[in-house]
Each structure stands twice: as C-alpha cells, then as structure tokens.
Amino acid sequence: MLQSLPDSETLYNALLKKDKDYEGIFIVGVKTTGIFCRPTCKARKPKKENVEFFKSVHDALMNGYRPCRVCSPMENKGEVPAWLKPLLDEVSKTPGIRLKDYDIRKRGIEPARLRRWFKQHHGITFQSYLRSLRIGNAFGRIRYGDKIIEAALESGYDSLSGFTETFKKTVGTTPGRSQDVNIVNVTRILTPLGPMFAGATEEGICLLEFADRRMLETQIKRLRKLLNAEFVPGNNKHFAILNEQIKEYFEGKRKCFDLPLILKGTAFQEKVWKELLTIPYGVTRSYQEQAEHVGDIKAVRAVAKANGDNRIAVIIPCHRVIGKDGKLTGYGGGLWRKQFLLDFEMSHSEK
C-alpha cells in the first residue's frame, strides 16, 4: 500500500491523460458535482481547483462523495491492462523464461513501464516475479521426483550453485531439504474494497486478507509455522476459481463459496471457523449466539478472539458476527468494510 500520494500536479496530469497506470493508485473527488471517479473516467474533466485526490474509495466515501455512474469506481480496480496480458500469458506458459530489457522491448513494452506497474500492483519488480516463478517451478519438480540439477536447468538456471543460492533465499532451505518444506503460492485478488492478499497450497486456499490489514504479516508468520511453509509469489491451480468466485460474490451473483479451504489452528479455532460457515448469507449473529452454537455459552470472548484470527476473510464470514446490541465490533479489514459487506449482502439476499 502507498503511504502517500504523488503531488497534485502529477495526479491531475494523470487524470487529464486518463493514464491507466494510475488505476488503483488514486481516486478523484469532483467538488462541483459531489461524485468520485477513477483516473481513467471518460467524463468531462473538471478544473484543477474543483478536484481533490484520495488514496481509496473508502476515503472518498468518508468525505461525502458518491460513485460516478460513468466509470463505476466501486468495481474492481487495477485490472491487468491489455498491453500486459500477452506477456503474462507467455510467462504463465513458460515458467522458466528469462526476459531482459531488450526482450521486453521486442514485445512492444517499455521495461520502466512494466516495472512501475508490478511495483504498484504487486509490490515487487517484474524480474522478482519471474525469479519467484522459476523457483516455484523448480520446487514442484524436486518435490515430485526430479533431480536437483534437472530441476535447475529446466527452470532456466545455468548453474547449480546459482540455483541453490537463489532457492535458499526464496524458500528458506536448500533444494536437497525441500521435501520437508511446503510452498504457499501468493497473489493479489482485486475487489471493490481494495486488493486482497491470497495464499494457497496444493490442497486449497489458506489465506485471504485485505492487503492493508495490520495483522497480515502476523498471519503469514503463523501460517509459515503451522504449515511448515514458505511463501512464494506465483501461480496456483486454486487461484482461477478463487478469482472467479470472489468476482461473482461482489457482483451479487454468488452467496455460497465452493472451493477447498485449509483451516489450520487450535481445535477451538477450527470449530469456530467451521461454525462461521453455517451463518447464512444476509444473516447476522451476535457473539453470544455464536458461542451457543459452538457449545459454550460462556466462551463469548474466546469466540470473538477466534473470529479475529480468521485468515480467510469474506469466504469464512466473520463479518456476519456483531455485538449483542446490534453494533459493529471488531473487523480486521476495518469496520467500514464490515458495514459494506453486511449492507451488500442484505440488499442482495432477496434476489
């Protein structure tokens, strides 16, 4: 997440140019109309003195602006632009590929533009992304029987020593000991409420958190220990269906999720998380009611803590648990997101 926005002159020029590279970086509020827009909105551009810039949809909403009907800023932001899709398709089909700046230019893309897009949307450079894919590919080959030297060469490495050093930095162990370590592939899922950080193993989804959640780093550390795993950016067979189902949810087309989940915690935590899955779409329970459902009416505080430790937001609907007095209490993604999710589900529950 960006800590601060570029200067207003840069942002206004990006607005005038409808610069796609700034999608997901800022939202513009138009003082004369009371609406907020994407940087790429096709509506007539306002004068500079009539705009103010925000880091997020939430900030614009909190300042009294309503979403523009032309550019629909509440929809997913930061979608992969058309100029980048062919390159990502190529990389996806060739995990061991190596691309220097010269190779990138031959494909009609400026390396600086590519680096900037990856840093803005994934927090890493394009070359770091390629290295992670190569290591992930090699890890899979070693886990399933390939010799280390074969895995290194097939993954695009010219020397075993270079491969071993990079592998150890990324995975946290040597290739020869990698049979004892699991890999959690990570990616970003785009939603109207901001990007979410997703993690998955071969068995299923183990992490789905809003990227700006303060507890995200702690959750990753816990999972690393619980699953004896290292986190590596890359593809995973579960990400496509996760993307599809999250998109359908925010379009109001999906009320139940159907994908494998990894619920790794204490026996009590797992019991609470499984019970959360039984709360129907558009329905809320109090923490006390949830304690009753898990069989211990006195465990209200423990239930609340287990809710807060939920690592798979939205899918495991901890947002549906509220205070006994009906007030919203505690949500790792922020109470504004909890309110949005509850209002959204309520408005779509009869459809």
Instruction: Give me the residue label for tokens 């075993």.
Output: 160
User: Based on the structure, what is the number of domains in the chain?
Assistant: 3
Residue 254 within a domain: no
Residue 258 within a domain: no
> Is the domain of 36 the same as that of 167?
no
> Is the domain of 112 the same as that of 41?
no
Does the active-site annotation cover 41?
A: no
**Band of pLDDT at residue 132, cut at 50, 70 and 90:** low
8 Å CB contact between 268 and 296: no
Q: What is the mean pLDDT of residues 275-286?
A: 94
Residue 1 within a domain: no
Q: Which of 10-19, 71-80, 119-128, 282-291 has the lowest mean pLDDT?
A: 71-80
Structure tokens at 190: 């785009």
> Is the domain of 62 the same as that of 168?
no
pLDDT in tens, 36-92: 898 999 888 899 999 999 887 777 766 667 778 888 776 665 567 888 888 888 887
Nearest CA among 91, 133, 92 for reference residue 109: 91
> Is the domain of 94 the same as that of 43?
no
Q: What is the mean pLDDT of residues 293-301?
A: 86
**Band of pLDDT at residue 122, cut at 50, 70 and 90:** low
**Band of pLDDT at residue 139, cut at 50, 70 and 90:** very low
Domain that holds residue 294: 264-348
pLDDT in tens, 150-184: 444 444 444 445 445 554 555 454 444 445 567 78
Q: Which strands, in side-by-side order, build the sheet including 66-67? A: 51-54, 27-30, 35-37, 66-67
CA distances from 335 to 13, 86, 91, 347 (A): 34, 39, 39, 18
> Is the domain of 130 the same as that of 201?
yes
Nearest CA among 228, 280, 224 for reference residue 256: 280
Which value, in Å, is the radius of gyration of the alpha carbons in the chain?
Answer: 22
Residue 251 within a domain: no
> Is the domain of 34 the same as that of 154?
no
pLDDT in tens, 17-31: 988 777 777 889 998
Comparing 84 with 329, the larger pLDDT belongs to 84
> Is the domain of 98 the same as that of 206?
yes
> Is the domain of 98 the same as that of 44?
no
Helix (H) or strand (E) holding 302: helix 300-308
